[in-house]
Chains A and B, each alone.
Chain A
Amino acid sequence: MRTTTRMLSGVLLAGAALFQAAAPVLADPAPSPGASGDGEEQAAPTEAGTAFRTAVKIRQDQPATAEASTGDYLYWVFDADAGRTATVRATVKLPEAAARHGAATWRLDVYDGLRRRQACVHGGQTKAAPAGAASVTVSCTLRTVRAWAEPWADDPLPGSYFVRLTVADLPQEDLGLPVRAEVLATAKDAGGARAVDGTLAVPLVPGASDAEVAEAADGAFSSGWWSSRWIWTVGGGVLGAAAAIAGYTVTRGAGRPSRVPPGA
């Protein structure tokens, strides 16, 4: 069966490629949530919030920095859309080694728009920095954001994602020393294989009952109807039709039988 699949796939690839070429035209040019609405490039944030309420908004692919004291809880928030797999990476430039008294453990937590902690699929979410280290990097790759999930699941949904960076364990003498943090959120397209049905009326953004917030969120997130499943399905239909014609032709042999006189 495997061989059949493979043999088929060669033929099918050609068909798929045809449709792939048409895809960008078909695809809804959904603005990526990171893009600013007014089109102008905005400066990277140089501050971090200190709570969910004061979290500083960051855009995807734009590194944000913050000066802080060791022990502060630093909060940022970014948008992630359905079908995307987001990764957050934070690098902390530690205080000079001479001022420190030992190893410190740093931790990165990601919460969704409902402040539910999200699991990290890959990445070192907590990392211990040895006493002499100059910096420490923690990262977290979330599960792929789904367009819809059952209320009883805490699957990641389109909306805001809060990032909390803090020191989890340290010698008490090192509290309050200055650090510099840099955080970068990126997202990869997970492809049509992860495209699920259903959709939220409003993405999981804080304060979504507010008409203005909902309106802004509506513009920032894709409506989510497009996925490469359309290509596969339409391609499959065309392929089935082509195979049907091919099968039909095979049974007819090469043209009319020679025995049949013309005009019969």
Chain B
Amino acid sequence: MITRKRLTARAFGLLVALAAGLLPAGPAAAAAAADEPDARESPKVELVLDVSGSMRAKDIDGQSRMAAAKQAFNDVLDAVPEEVLLGIRTLGADYPGDNRKTGCKDTRQLYPVGPLDRTEAKTAVATLAPTGWTPIGPALLGAADDLEGGNGTRRIVLITDGEDTCGPLDPCEVAREIAAKGTHLVVDTLGLVPNAKIRRQLTCIAEATGGTYTAVQHTDELSSRVKQLVDRAADPVVKPVATDGADRCADAPRLTAGLYTDREEFSEHRWYRVDVLPGQELRAAVSVGADRAVNRDYGVLLRAVTTRGREIVRGEEAGDGRTDVISTGLRYPKAPLDDDTADEVKPAAETVCLQVSNSFSAPPSVKTTPGLPVELAVDLVDGPDEASDVASFGLGHGWWLLGVLALTGLLAGLVWGWLSRWRLAVWRTN
């Protein structure tokens, strides 16, 4: 039974694959294309280096912060993977004066994002001397512009020793704005000074974009970490497609199989629609990211609802404490058509509404827009072979089973034996 079902499923899969091949413009093909990382798109990385006056301080392995950074850059430039397009941007490298307004605009691209000429890049880095202010916000905006275009992964590695003194542009807000643009740009931060204010700012930037924060104490740590981050950019990764959930099912975007991103504010409900054919199984997984300071307790709810509002199945999860995301998922296998009606009835897809809601909350000081990042994975696969019994194939297991069978056999043998003896006796008396 199971084998037969599987065979039919495979044959159907083959048909679908063939159909998809014949109609390359179909939605299935489009979704598949969106799922796969494009091999031609090179990952882009921009190293953003703080060259402010404070980098002169000699507190990393006895040498100045600048010297440590330069040494790390030389190591990193030697080890950059071939396919990575690397750029370098500086902040506070040029304006030594006291004018805050000018000082806070002081960020420039030292080496353009592109195929790397190691010697040229190294020479450019060698000329740097600690000079000016620390405009992190403008530098991040600049770096985001530098990485504009293309479809590969994007990463900014920010190396700094001071907090942004330039206001009113909060670099953390800038980072969140950049992340909200949906360009999948990740900012990793490295702090050269273990200072509470800097740490708070850099962790906030990293958190807002899904990046990491590292406190650097030694030169070798700096170079190995930057190398690791650059290598990470080169790893192929599935890129989600941006979508925009509606506040009710009727207006919701229709999704096919694939990976999607969206933004959802605190306590907001977002709806999506998926068409499920009879005999198909809908699988949906959602994660809501905590990209800012949130209150201790939180949760997420994913509901599959019919167009008439009946809940089919839900996934829910709650948690507390430090987290990056909270996630849940659900499965909805739609029953296949009966075998006898399958030929007569044209299978009609059922529209399933997916509702994503969260119970994150935040202190009043935290901005609620843009919303929290939502990642929604939708898969449509063949339905499962339903269990006809609790046990595998309805088979038995254990000593009780053997005992019962043996006893039954014994009784049957005895009865049969007595019966035949009785018949023999009857035959003999006659």
> Do A and B associate with each other?
yes
Is B406 a contact of A251 with CB atoms below 8 Å?
Answer: no
Partner of A229, one of B212, B383, B391, B404: B391
Is A233 a contact of B396 with CB atoms below 8 Å?
Answer: yes
B90 → A minimal CB distance (Å): 23
Is A195 a contact of B410 with CB atoms below 8 Å?
Answer: no
Is B213 a contact of A71 with CB atoms below 8 Å?
Answer: yes
- Asked whether any CB of chain A lies closer than 8 Å to the CB of B248, the reply is no
Is B392 a contact of A111 with CB atoms below 8 Å?
Answer: no
Q: Which residues of A contact B221 (CB under 8 A)?
A: 178
> A116: nearest residue on chain B (CB-CB)?
B329
Is B392 a contact of A197 with CB atoms below 8 Å?
Answer: yes
Q: Which residues of A contact B324 (CB under 8 A)?
A: 51, 73, 166
Is B210 a contact of A201 with CB atoms below 8 Å?
Answer: no
Beta-carbon contacts of A79-94 to B below 8 Å, as 1s and 0s? 0000000000000000
> A157: nearest residue on chain B (CB-CB)?
B331
A246 → B minimal CB distance (Å): 6
Given A114-B329, A251-B417, residue A52 in contact with residue B400 (CB < 8 A): no
Q: Which residues of B contact A200 (CB under 8 A)?
A: 281, 384
Is B410 a contact of A197 with CB atoms below 8 Å?
Answer: no
- Asked whether any CB of chain A lies closer than 8 Å to the CB of B138, the reply is no
- Asked whether any CB of chain A lies closer than 8 Å to the CB of B407, the reply is yes
Main secondary structure of the interface of A (DSSP, over half): mixed
Is A173 a contact of B321 with CB atoms below 8 Å?
Answer: no
Q: Which residues 247-296 of B sit at the A interface, judged by CB distance below 8 A?
A: 257-259, 281, 283-287
Partner of B396, one of A54, A72, A229: A229
Given A12-B406, A67-B228, A175-B203, residue A52 in contact with residue B31 (CB < 8 A): no
- Asked whether any CB of chain A lies closer than 8 Å to the CB of B370, the reply is no
- Asked whether any CB of chain A lies closer than 8 Å to the CB of B126, the reply is no
> B398: nearest residue on chain A (CB-CB)?
A232
- Asked whether any CB of chain B lies closer than 8 Å to the CB of A207, the reply is yes
Bound-state Cα–Cα, A204 to B380, Å: 11
- Asked whether any CB of chain B lies closer than 8 Å to the CB of A169, the reply is yes
Interface size class of B (residues with CB under 8 A): 35 or more
Beta-carbon contacts of A176-218 to B below 8 Å, as 1s and 0s? 1110000000000000110111111110101111110010000
Bound-state Cα–Cα, A52 to B288, Å: 12
Partner of B232, one of A47, A52, A113: A47
- Asked whether any CB of chain B lies closer than 8 Å to the CB of A242, the reply is yes
Q: Which residues of B contact A68 (CB under 8 A)?
A: 212
Is A243 a contact of B213 with CB atoms below 8 Å?
Answer: no
Bound-state Cα–Cα, A112 to B329, Å: 9
Partner of A197, one of B378, B394, B400: B394
Partner of A175, one of B2, B213, B412, B416: B213
Given A8-B403, A227-B392, residue A245 in contact with residue B413 (CB < 8 A): yes
Is B382 a contact of A202 with CB atoms below 8 Å?
Answer: yes
Bound-state Cα–Cα, A11 to B407, Å: 13
Is B212 a contact of A72 with CB atoms below 8 Å?
Answer: yes
A196 → B minimal CB distance (Å): 6
- Asked whether any CB of chain B lies closer than 8 Å to the CB of A134, the reply is no
Is A116 a contact of B394 with CB atoms below 8 Å?
Answer: no
Q: Which residues of A contact B414 (CB under 8 A)?
A: 247-248, 250-251
Bound-state Cα–Cα, A208 to B383, Å: 12
- Asked whether any CB of chain B lies closer than 8 Å to the CB of A145, the reply is no
Bound-state Cα–Cα, A233 to B405, Å: 9
Bound-state Cα–Cα, A99 to B400, Å: 61
Partner of A232, one of B286, B375, B401: B401
- Asked whether any CB of chain A lies closer than 8 Å to the CB of B35, the reply is yes
Is B35 a contact of A210 with CB atoms below 8 Å?
Answer: yes
Q: Which residues of B contact A201 (CB under 8 A)?
A: 6, 9, 281, 381-385
Is B417 a contact of A252 with CB atoms below 8 Å?
Answer: yes
B396 → A minimal CB distance (Å): 5
Bound-state Cα–Cα, A214 to B150, Å: 29
Instruction: Mark the stretch among B102-110, B191-199, B340-348, B352-360 that contacts chain A.
Output: B191-199
B193 → A minimal CB distance (Å): 11
Given A176-B215, A229-B391, residue A209 in contact with residue B31 (CB < 8 A): yes
Bound-state Cα–Cα, A220 to B385, Å: 19
A102 → B minimal CB distance (Å): 15
Bound-state Cα–Cα, A208 to B324, Å: 25
Bound-state Cα–Cα, A257 to B285, Å: 77
Partner of B214, one of A69, A113, A196, A235: A69
Is A114 a contact of B412 with CB atoms below 8 Å?
Answer: no
Q: Which residues of A contact B420 (CB under 8 A)?
A: 251
Bound-state Cα–Cα, A254 to B231, Å: 84
Q: Which residues of B contact A114 (CB under 8 A)?
A: 283-285, 315, 328-331
Bound-state Cα–Cα, A51 to B257, Å: 20
Q: Which residues of A contact B413 (CB under 8 A)?
A: 243-251
Instruction: Mark the stretch among A27-35, A36-44, A136-144, A146-154 that contacts chain B.
Output: A146-154
Q: Which residues of B contact A197 (CB under 8 A)?
A: 387-394
Is A208 a contact of B402 with CB atoms below 8 Å?
Answer: no
Bound-state Cα–Cα, A230 to B392, Å: 9
Is A52 a contact of B375 with CB atoms below 8 Å?
Answer: yes
Q: Which residues of A contact B210 (CB under 8 A)?
A: 50-51
Given A199-B384, A208-B379, A209-B380, residue A169 in contact with residue B406 (CB < 8 A): no
List 27 interface pairs A-B (beta carbons < 8 Å), by A numbering. Answer: A5-B403, A12-B399, A12-B403, A50-B211, A50-B212, A52-B325, A114-B330, A115-B286, A151-B313, A151-B330, A151-B333, A152-B313, A166-B322, A173-B194, A175-B199, A175-B213, A176-B214, A197-B387, A197-B390, A198-B387, A206-B379, A207-B377, A214-B381, A243-B407, A247-B417, A248-B414, A250-B417
What 6 A-B pairs have minimum CB-CB distances, sorted nearest first? A247-B413, A251-B417, A114-B329, A198-B387, A176-B215, A240-B409
Instruction: Kindly list 11 other residue pairs between chains A and B, CB separation below 8 angstroms, not including A115-B285, A244-B416.
Output: A4-B403, A9-B399, A47-B228, A54-B235, A69-B215, A114-B285, A197-B387, A201-B6, A210-B257, A214-B381, A229-B391
